[in-house]
């Protein structure tokens, strides 16, 4: 049990950030990570026996994320302006993070997942193939398509100073 607690303490921030990059709000990301880690706790001996514990946990995280996205609509309604930002000039609030998140939103989920696992979670292509349960070549092609799409994204081009 101490091993699990130590693992969670060390990996929590990174797992939450991975979930945010997958498309969750910060609160949703924390809930998602908590649910994924609960599932891992139930099978902790299996997680410990895995060749790559981080890859195993990321796989559980992604499966939990995808499973949650398949569920029925929860009644949340998107809004252009959040109540806590109602009086703030929205134009000045746009920043690099917003542009990157919007660019990630435009990627198909398989490409977005590949980008998050490779460039944020720093998993190798082989680890990603294990996490995603696909061939290493599939990982390479998803990353290649995603990087190409991000390179052509006009909002990111503006960040780089191109117009």
Q: Pick the more confident residue, 33 or 159.
A: 33
Handedness of CA 64, 66, 70, 75 (dihedral sign): positive
pLDDT value at position 92? 42
Where does the pLDDT of residue 15 fall: very low under 50, low under 70, confident under 90, or very high at 90 and above? very high
The reply to whether the predicted model has a pTM over 0.85 is no
* Burial call 49-58: b when 16+ CB within 10 Å, e when fewer: eeeeebbbbb
Tens digit of each residue's pLDDT (9 = 90 or more) over 102-155: 889 999 999 999 999 999 899 999 999 999 999 999 999 999 999 999 988 887
pLDDT value at position 163? 47
Percentage of residues in the chain with pLDDT exceeding 70? Answer: 80
Where does the pLDDT of residue 93 fall: very low under 50, low under 70, confident under 90, or very high at 90 and above? very low
Residue 143 tokens read as: 């990353």
Domains and CATH numbers, the chain: 1-81 (no CATH), 90-162 (1.10.10.10)
């Amino acid at each position: 049990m101490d091993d699990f607690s130590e693992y969670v303490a060390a990996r929590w921030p990174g797992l939450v950030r991975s979930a945010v990059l997958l498309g969750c709000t910060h609160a949703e990301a924390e809930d998602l990570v908590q649910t994924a880690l609960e599932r891992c706790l139930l099978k902790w001996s299996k997680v410990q026996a895995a060749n790559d514990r981080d890859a195993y946990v990321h796989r559980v995280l992604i499966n939990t994320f995808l499973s949650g996205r398949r569920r029925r609509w929860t009644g949340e309604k998107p809004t252009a302006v959040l109540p806590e930002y109602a009086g703030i000039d929205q134009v000045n609030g746009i920043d690099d993070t917003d542009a990157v998140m919007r660019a990630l939103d435009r990627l198909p989920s398989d490409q977005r997942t590949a980008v998050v696992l490779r460039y944020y979670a720093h998993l190798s292509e082989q680890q990603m193939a294990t996490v995603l349960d696909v061939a290493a070549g599939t990982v390479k092609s998803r990353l290649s398509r995603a990087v190409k799409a991000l390179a052509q994204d006009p909002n990111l081009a503006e960040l780089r100073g191109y117009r």
